[in-house]
């Protein structure tokens, strides 16, 4: 019998990364990378949470049949109050891991120290942190941009990198085409990085739709893999990995 890992996705907008994560991971079974165990784990996207009532991603969650909590941050006087409300919701659903997918809020330590949180950022960190990373990297003198998936810590976009890939600028690129290739890289890299971080390996389910994107890399990117702290899911309740932002 597979052990279920209860996960949540936080988003604020279009929700394309969220949709790809759900389609790639939700109700799929995976083997542990530990060679001395045959234990299988099933990832369950138990909940999505959105702070923007007008976000198109809410429609995506309905179409995918995944519960969505809408919690407008403007209804709260302080960032701390908003985070406390999120904590209550996530604890009610017994969430173990949180994946940020375009969640446009800076989280307080009071929130992040209670969960293991993974984020995706559209640059080859530590280069070009912040909200304008794609534009900043495109107009820079660098020959590439990139995508990084990292643990969340107290520094904005500064947590330990799990996996990252470069996206090389092409001679005929404009900002729009470059951004489109960044997003394609995100869709491939994020589920792979989550499996790496959770200490999981190949999919067990035969109907796993994202096998190709998990096991292969985009032809438009140069791969750079950073080995980082990964959790055995069995350690989920006892890990002391600190994540705050």
196-216 pLDDT, tens per residue? Answer: 999 998 788 545 444 343 433
The pair of structure tokens assigned to 239 is 């890990």
- Residues with catalytic function: 121
pLDDT confidence bin for 222, thresholds 50/70/90: very low
Mean pLDDT throughout 163-173?
98
122-165 pLDDT, tens per residue? Answer: 999 999 999 999 999 999 999 999 999 999 987 888 899 999 99
Q: Model's pTM, two decimal places?
A: 0.85
159 is in an annotated binding site: no
Whether residue 227 is predicted with pLDDT greater than 50 in this model: the reply is no
Whether residue 83 is predicted with pLDDT greater than 80 in this model: the reply is yes
16-53 pLDDT, tens per residue? Answer: 999 999 999 999 999 999 888 888 999 999 999 999 99
CB 102 within 8 A of CB 183: no
**Alpha carbons 22 and 13: distance in angstroms, whole number:** 16
1 is in an annotated binding site: no
79 is in an annotated binding site: yes
Domains and CATH numbers, the chain: 3-235 (3.40.50.170)
State what percent of residues in the chain have pLDDT above 70: 83
How far is Cα of residue 40 from the mean position of the Cα atoms in its chain? 21
**Alpha carbons 137 and 146: distance in angstroms, whole number:** 8
158 is in an annotated binding site: no
Residue 235 confidence (pLDDT): 55
Q: Look at residues 181, 195, 203 and name the one whose alpha carbon lies nearest to residue 225.
A: 195
Whether residue 236 is predicted with pLDDT greater than 50 in this model: the reply is no
33 is in an annotated binding site: no
- Measured CA distances, 219 to 167, 173, 176 (Å): 10, 16, 18
| Residue 141 DSSP one-character state | S
Residue 35 confidence (pLDDT): 81
């Amino acid at each position: 019998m597979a052990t279920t890992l209860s996960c949540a996705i936080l988003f604020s907008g279009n929700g394309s990364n969220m949709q790809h994560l759900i389609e790639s991971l939700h109700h799929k079974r995976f083997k542990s990378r530990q060679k001395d165990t045959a234990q299988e784990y099933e990832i369950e996207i138990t909940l999505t949470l959105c702070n923007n009532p007008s976000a198109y991603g809410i429609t995506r969650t309905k179409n995918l049949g995944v519960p969505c909590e809408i919690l407008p941050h403007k209804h709260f006087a302080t960032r701390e109050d908003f985070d406390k409300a999120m904590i209550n919701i996530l604890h009610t659903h017994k969430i173990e891991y949180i994946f940020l997918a375009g969640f446009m809020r800076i989280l307080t330590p009071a929130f992040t120290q209670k969960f293991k949180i993974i984020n995706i950022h559209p640059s080859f960190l530590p280069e070009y942190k912040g909200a304008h990373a794609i534009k900043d990297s495109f107009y820079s003198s660098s020959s590439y941009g990139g995508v990084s998936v990292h643990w969340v810590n107290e520094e904005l976009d500064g947590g330990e990198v799990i996996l990252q890939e470069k996206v090389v600028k092409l001679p005929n690129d404009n900002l729009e085409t470059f951004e489109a290739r960044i997003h394609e890289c995100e869709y491939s890299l994020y589920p792979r990085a989550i499996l790496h971080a959770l200490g999981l390996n190949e999919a067990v389910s035969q109907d796993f739709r994202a096998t190709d994107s998990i096991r292969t890399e985009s032809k438009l990117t140069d791969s750079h893999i950073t080995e980082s702290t990964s959790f055995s899911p069995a350690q989920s309740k006892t890990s002391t990995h600190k994540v705050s932002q």
